[in-house]
Amino acid sequence: MTGTELQLLGCAKTFAGDTKALLPTDLVVKPGEILGLLGPSGCGKTTMLRIMAGLETPDSGGKILFDDEDVTKVPIEHRSIGMVFQSYALFPNMSVQQNVGYGLKVRGISGSERDDRVNEVMSFCRLDGLADRAINQLSGGQRQRVALARAVAPRPRVLLLDEPLSALDAALRDTLRDELAVILRGLSMTAVFVTHDQSEAMAIADTIAVMRAGRIEQRAAPEVLYRDPQTDFVASFVGGANRLSGRFENGQLHLEGGTLKTGIEGQQPDHIFIRQEDIRITNPDGASLRGKVIGRVYLGTHTKLTISGVCEAPLMVTLQGADAPKIGDLVGLDIPANSLIHF
């Protein structure tokens, strides 16, 4: 892998009024790794990104390293950072080509070297044929690709993206998300991006740091986070797993809607969860666990059911296809013991 290793050592950020936006955090992003910072609003994602960029200074004691170089006191313009913002922040009076070449121009790179680099990065970001276009003649997706091309043209050591897709409408966001995943991977550049959208994080990132209240709760590859969450917050935030809370006795969980064989030996775990797609709907007659369908949303590839009467909170179930029970139906629920997430 090429690229720079990025390290935060004991980085915290306290704003005026004693707002602890970021608690002391250690983090290593390997060369060429794409890290997603995922979490709800106000959890400190942007603050962490801004500290990496040099737009915010960490509290005293915190250190930022790019490879072996301590950049904590190095201002943003000398850190060799590429930044992509939600709002594009393109120069409206310049063409696409001029925007993409801007960072090279201010670094004194001119002539054919600049042209070659601009053409290369424009082609990589699928902007061929748009070189002379004005910014206001581009779609939102094209603008964001120009912003990306402009950020990567000077070959920064680290690329930072702050909610890069959130200004786009839903359909465009899905397309650009997949494109961005391909483009970023092809760049082999150390990259960190902020998002509150878990599908975006999962599609783009090599590893995801799930943040809550100023700290990283878990950092892992998307499939590990999904299948092996280490905290109840991660289990419910990533993929919306259902919490099963009831009385646990001899490996059985007694819920409002019946009994579940958990296969768990020994003591009651603190948390038991089940993923929405791991629940099967069965005939209610003779089922050991039952509930009533109170919500049904057909989404083409799958149907989302809300089922009450099983446990405290309504149970969310995702079924493939359209052949799902109707609102008001009584249903049996099969929850395989080996699909339970417990810790």
Binding site for ligand ATP (CB under 6 A): 15-16, 19, 21, 39, 41-47, 196
Shortest distance in whole angstroms from residue 37 CB to ligand ATP: 8
Shortest distance in whole angstroms from residue 50 CB to ligand ATP: 8
Shortest distance in whole angstroms from residue 201 CB to ligand ATP: 13
Nearest alpha-carbon partner for 28 in 229, 187, 216, 237: 216
Nearest to ligand ATP of 27, 311 (CB atom): 27
Nearest to ligand ATP of 19, 110 (CB atom): 19
What tokens does 196 get?
């509150």
Total residues belonging to the chain: 343
Nearest to ligand ATP of 162, 278 (CB atom): 162
How are the residues of the chain apportioned to helix, strand and coil, as percentages rounded to the nearest 5? 30, 30, 40
Nearest to ligand ATP of 39, 257 (CB atom): 39
Shortest distance in whole angstroms from residue 12 CB to ligand ATP: 12
Shortest distance in whole angstroms from residue 165 CB to ligand ATP: 13
Nearest to ligand ATP of 46, 242 (CB atom): 46
Nearest to ligand ATP of 14, 282 (CB atom): 14
3-class secondary structure, 117: helix
DSSP codes joined into one string, 44-57: SHHHHHHHHHTSSP
Shortest distance in whole angstroms from residue 161 CB to ligand ATP: 13
3-class secondary structure, 115: helix
CA distance 226 to 234: 8
Nearest to ligand ATP of 8, 260 (CB atom): 8
Q: Residues with Cβ < 8 Å from 224, sequence gap 6 or more?
A: none
Distances (CA, A) of 164 to 20, 36, 63, 143, 229: 25, 12, 26, 11, 26
176-201 burial code (b ≥16 CB/10 A, e <16): bbebbbebbeebebbbbbbbbbbebb
CA distance 253 to 260: 5
Shortest distance in whole angstroms from residue 96 CB to ligand ATP: 28
Q: Residues with Cβ < 8 Å from 296, sequence gap 6 or more?
A: 303, 304, 305, 306, 324, 325, 326, 327
A 10 A CB-CB count for 50 gives 21
Nearest to ligand ATP of 18, 265 (CB atom): 18
CA distance 42 to 63: 23
What tokens does 76 get?
């943003």
Shortest distance in whole angstroms from residue 21 CB to ligand ATP: 3
